[in-house]
Amino acid sequence: MRNFSYPPFYRYIFRYRNYPARVTIYPESGTLTVQMTAELFSQYLFAGITYGIIYAIVAIGFNIIYNTTGIINFAQGEFVMLGGMFAITLNNFMPLVPAIALAVVITMIIGALIEMIFIRWLDSPSILRMIIITIGLSILIREVALHFWGEGVRSLPYFNGNEISSIKIFSAQISPQVLWVIGVCLIIVTLLSLFFRFTSLGLEMRACSANRLAATLCGINAKNMVTFSFMLSAGIGALAGCVMSPITYTQYDCGTGLAIKGFTVAVLGGLGNSMAAVAAGLLLGIIEAFSIGIVPLAFQDAISITILLIILFVRPHGLFGSSEAAGLTEF
């Protein structure tokens, strides 16, 4: 466990500790001035891609559950936190890879249990009720995590090298962990789309999301599919939580921010559309990364909220979504 004593808005910068010295920080105002160079440009770009793809994974978690149930699971960010936390704790007793694998499995089980205990028995609950349940769950998980792990900021060790090792790509100095994040997240996205397209379980899940009544009439147990979708999104959230932990750190409440970003991205891409979520995630990540040269750091999170609000007002079916999906006027 590593303690982190910088004020919160510094963290964003210090996560990428290889920023060239030309970044000057004025702590009083929380702003910084930057001279844009090609070097800095690619540095920002990589930071944006890294964060963007993390947001995309959270958004895909939202989408999987949204597709099978029509609800937004606001506890999605907590799955990411749990994955990271379990892996960190388990890593004290076992090597990194089994610790991560076990953490993902435990989080998947928690996801399944949550569905079975809190969602499954509801016959045809209203959307609002389901959303309130998931918000309640996210608070519950956060409090339990606070109880177990405390307020401390923890992280997994770097998968390769340490916090100062770096690789040079396009004149940017990149931590190898950044490549891990991007690589693992891309693999998750690819495997997921193959899963949904080519396996019969994937087809059955798509069927449930397309038409639950018809799926039942085909003999598919729709409730099991919902449980499975909770497991799946808990699993990918947890895995993402593990790979990002060394650079973003893990804290009992880190899920909330991620959930907001992930939700923004999910809406931006069009709810339920996972491929669009990747594009939207990258877009948001890159906008955020470049905005630190313009907007005071303290307003960083305001950017995504602003985008979310604009999208909800102007294009509720998302940038890439069809207006058919907008027919779901519950939101």
Partner 1 sequence: MLKIKNLEAGYGKLRVLKRISMHVDPGEIVTIIGANGAGKTTLLYTIAGIIKTMAGEINLLGQTLKKTKAEKIVDLGCSLVPEGRQVFSTISVLENLLLGAYVQSGKNGYDRKQELEKIYNIFPVLKDRRRQLAGTLSGGEQQMLAMGRALMARPKLIMMDEPSTGLAPLIVKDIFQIILRLREAGNTVMLVEQNARAALGIADRGYVLETGKIIIQGPATDLLDNHDVQRAYLGRDIE
- Does position 300 interact with partner 1 (CB under 8 A)? The reply is no
Asked if 220 is part of the footprint of partner 1 (rule: CB under 8 A), the reply reads: yes
Letter string b/e over residues 268-302, b meaning 16 or more CB atoms within 10 A of that residue's CB:
bbbbbbbbbbbbbbbbbbbebbbbbeeeebebbee
124 contributes a contact to partner 1 by CB under 8 A: no
For position 92 contacting partner 1 by CB under 8 A, the verdict is no
- Residues from 174 through 203 that contact partner 1 (CB under 8 A): 200, 203
Question: CB 213 → partner 1: shortest distance, Å?
Answer: 6
Per the CB < 8 A criterion, the answer to whether 237 and 107 are in contact is yes
Least CB distance to partner 1 at residue 25 (A): 49
Q: Provide the β-strand partners of residue 24.
A: 33
- Neighbour tally for 223: CB within 10 Å: 17
CB 78 within 8 A of CB 86: no
Q: How far is the CB of 122 from partner 1 (least distance, A)?
A: 15
**DSSP bridge partners of 31:** 26
> Could you tell me whether strands 24-26 and 31-33 are parallel, antiparallel, or unpaired per DSSP bridges?
antiparallel
Which residue number, 24 or 221, has a Cβ lying nearer to partner 1?
221
Q: Write down the least CB distance from residue 210 to partner 1, Å.
A: 4
Identified binder of partner 1 from the candidate list 188, 207, 240, 267, rule CB under 8 A: 207
**Which residue of 193, 216, 291, 300 would you call a contact of partner 1, by CB under 8 A?**
216
Strand (E) or helix (H) holding 38: helix 38-69
For partner 1, which is the closer residue by CB, 225 or 259?
A: 225
Quote the CA–CA distance of 227 and 214 in Å, as a whole number. 18
Q: Which of 214, 298, 302, 310 binds partner 1 (CB under 8 A)?
A: 214
Q: Is 305 in the site for partner 1 (CB under 8 A)?
A: no
Q: Which residues bind partner 1 (CB under 8 A)?
A: 200, 203-204, 206-207, 209-211, 213-221
